Structure 1
Amino acid sequence: MTTTTIARAWSLRRTDGLVLGFTDHDGRLVFDGVTFRPDRGLAARALVQGTGLSVDNSEAIGALSDGAITERDLMAGRWDGAQLRLWEVDWTDVAQRRLVFRGSLGEVSRAKGAFRAELRGLSEALNAPQGRVYHPRCSARLGDTSCKIDLSAPSLSLQMPVGEMEEGRLFRFATFPAFDANWFEHGRLEVLSGAAEGLSGAIKNDSARPGGGRLIELWSALGLLPAPGDQIRLTAGCDKDGRSCRLKFGNFLNFRGFPDLPPEDWLIAPQAARHG
């Protein structure tokens, strides 16, 4: 009978610096300052690696446990974009090892007490669209280096406790500071404290209510429900329109769209119609 001393070991590093190590060997392995444990319920499917710009892909499958990757952390997005490295290692001499995969966690799904995570190779970023799109609406993101708006300004950001909430998607406030209706539409809601700390959602609707109340509706429900009294932050939204940039933010000098660009109908219209 032929035996092998090769095992697989992989480490995950979250964006907050937490590092976990896993191995399919039946004992602990230690190298690079990381302890790779066999009792954390993680396994990887066969790795597919391509040449050139082909996307490497695989999956990590594991059990949700309090000692390693928890459902709460997954739902809070704390593992989004975690950096992953996978080695083949001789468990009798861990100095004899080979790095076979380096990338990050992609889409994560969960069911029946387990999770499944897509592994994305380093070439994944090269498939992102490059260059600038010429479009009437702004290409910048509110508050980024192109936009230059300071989102910490009192007129653009509001911190307050959670009041009445429905399904983690509808937030009702009996009283609300004097912001115009729809001020936070297209903005973001971030949870700052409690079990759901770190979660955020895009705001779909911002509706004023009689008596000074407010209804904030998210596009999708938060993965974990904030409790009444937990602190949230609302950030003003931008609809990417030049008029909004000028009147709402007073920032038209940094507008990154092309509001005078002719529409598609103009391009296909007969020449006589173009000149009136």
Structure 2
Amino acid sequence: MRSLPDDLAARLAAGATTLANCWLLTRADGSRFGFTDHDRDLVVDGVTCRAASGLDRSAAAASGDFAAGDEDLAGVVAGESLSEEDLAAGRWDGARVEVYLTDWTDPASALLLRAGTIGEVVRSDGAFRAELRGPAHALGHPVGRLFGRGCDAELGDARCAVALDHPDYRATADVVGGDGIARLLLQGLGAFDDDWFAGGLLVPASGALADRPLRIDLDRRAGDLREIVLWRRAPLALAPGLLVTLTAGCDKRFATCRTKFANTVNFRGFPHMPGNDFAFAYARSDGGNTGGVLF
């Protein structure tokens, strides 16, 4: 049960109240920001909550399942702390949100109503709306390993152990063309085979998207250049002259682990597990009953 501070409880019991909502947002990079729907700045938990943000919250609804979006946070995109560029670049993705109810005549007596993380963000006409996901939302994610033929490790992590700083698996190139959003033309990757970076990551070295990994879908030669098609459109355009870093891609197959990375000792899948055909088949004199091609 939530307990109210005595001074705040007394103000709530009074005939007239002086209440305001405050939001403390902590991004993944550790930056902390405060916003309020009051008409002047308030200080809550040592953070100055800015009034000129236009933020507002929807009514909150609780349910017994793990559905997201039971409360929304909406506002205008303006100012240095909440900019269109930051939203597009994903700097607010997964940010922790603390919602406080406070008395604007005495902001120190603030009550934490709920906490969660920012989920899906929709931007339109200079404004945004973000769903606020509660702590129970994390319980809806699968936990543990699944049995499958493909590897369930991430290329280069502790379980995979491939050294991605090796020059065979990492390269830098310059953006020289393309639309900058979904298709890029790069210079400096002539030594690599087609599709070497397909499924890998492209990371800009500078600009608004600096250090944000973008997944590569297709990788092929285009004359003396390299054509890269991104899995998802970049939120901001990558301009010609930008330096990017690419890491090799892995399709999680045992054959790829063996021939491309020579890393079969760390393969985290089950390549010899029989498929559905084998599991549901019956003995036949004219068939091998192998379950399909394994490699």
TM-score, with normalisation over the residues of structure 2?
Answer: 0.87
Of the three residues 185, 201, 210, the one matched with 2:198 is 185
Of the three residues 6, 11, 19, the one matched with 2:24 is 11
For residue 51 of structure 1, report the CA deviation from its aligned partner: 5.9
Of the three residues 247, 255, 258, the one matched with 1:243 is 255
Aligned pairs (5 A) from 1:21-36: 21-36=34-49
Matched, 1:143 2:143: no
For residue 13 of structure 1, report the CA deviation from its aligned partner: 1.1
Letter in 1 for 2:239: A
Matched, 1:152 2:165: yes
Of the three residues 134, 154, 170, the one matched with 1:121 is 134
For residue 220 of structure 1, report the CA deviation from its aligned partner: 2.2
Is the 2:45–2:108 contact (alpha carbons within 8 Å) kept by the matching residues of 1? no
For residue 163 of structure 1, report the CA deviation from its aligned partner: 1.1
The alignment-based identity, stated in percent, is: 40
Letter in 1 for 2:222: R
For residue 55 of structure 1, report the CA deviation from its aligned partner: 5.8
Change (3 A) 1:209 1:25: closer
Paired position in structure 2 for 1:79: 92
Change (3 A) 1:230 1:57: same
For residue 245 of structure 1, report the CA deviation from its aligned partner: 0.4
For residue 275 of structure 1, report the CA deviation from its aligned partner: 6.4
Of the three residues 221, 228, 235, the one matched with 1:208 is 221
Is the 2:202–2:246 contact (alpha carbons within 8 Å) kept by the matching residues of 1? yes
Alpha carbon RMSD of aligned pairs, Å?
Answer: 2.1
Aligned pairs (5 A) from 1:36-75: 36-50=49-63, 57-75=70-88
Matched, 1:221 2:238: no
Is the 2:254–2:271 contact (alpha carbons within 8 Å) kept by the matching residues of 1? yes
Paired position in structure 1 for 2:4: none
**SS of corresponding position for 1:162:** strand
Count of residues in correspondence between the two structures:
275
Matched, 1:260 2:272: yes
Is the 2:173–2:188 contact (alpha carbons within 8 Å) kept by the matching residues of 1? no
- Structure 2: how far apart are the matches of 1:49 and 1:61? 19
- Structure 2: how far apart are the matches of 1:173 and 1:89? 53
Is the 2:204–2:212 contact (alpha carbons within 8 Å) kept by the matching residues of 1? yes
Is the 2:170–2:247 contact (alpha carbons within 8 Å) kept by the matching residues of 1? yes
For residue 92 of structure 1, report the CA deviation from its aligned partner: 2.0
Larger CA deviation: 194-203 vs 141-150: 194-203
Which string of whole-angstrom CA distances, capped at 9 and with x for unpartnered residues, describes residues 61-82 of structure 1?
0101133311111111111111
For residue 50 of structure 1, report the CA deviation from its aligned partner: 4.1
Matched, 1:231 2:243: yes
- Structure 2: how far apart are the matches of 1:186 and 1:275? 34
- Structure 2: how far apart are the matches of 1:264 and 1:124? 33
**SS of corresponding position for 2:227:** strand
Q: Which runs of 5+ in 2 are unaligned?
A: 1-13, 290-295
Is the 2:24–2:35 contact (alpha carbons within 8 Å) kept by the matching residues of 1? yes
Which string of whole-angstrom CA distances, capped at 9 and with x for unpartnered residues, describes residues 121-142 of structure 1?
1111111111211111111111
**SS of corresponding position for 2:121:** strand
Is the 2:206–2:242 contact (alpha carbons within 8 Å) kept by the matching residues of 1? yes
Change (3 A) 1:236 1:73: same
Change (3 A) 1:175 1:197: closer
Change (3 A) 1:50 1:56: farther
Is the 1:184–1:203 contact (alpha carbons within 8 Å) kept by the matching residues of 2? yes
**SS of corresponding position for 1:60:** strand
For residue 272 of structure 1, report the CA deviation from its aligned partner: 3.9
**SS of corresponding position for 1:124:** helix
TM-score, with normalisation over the residues of structure 1?
Answer: 0.92
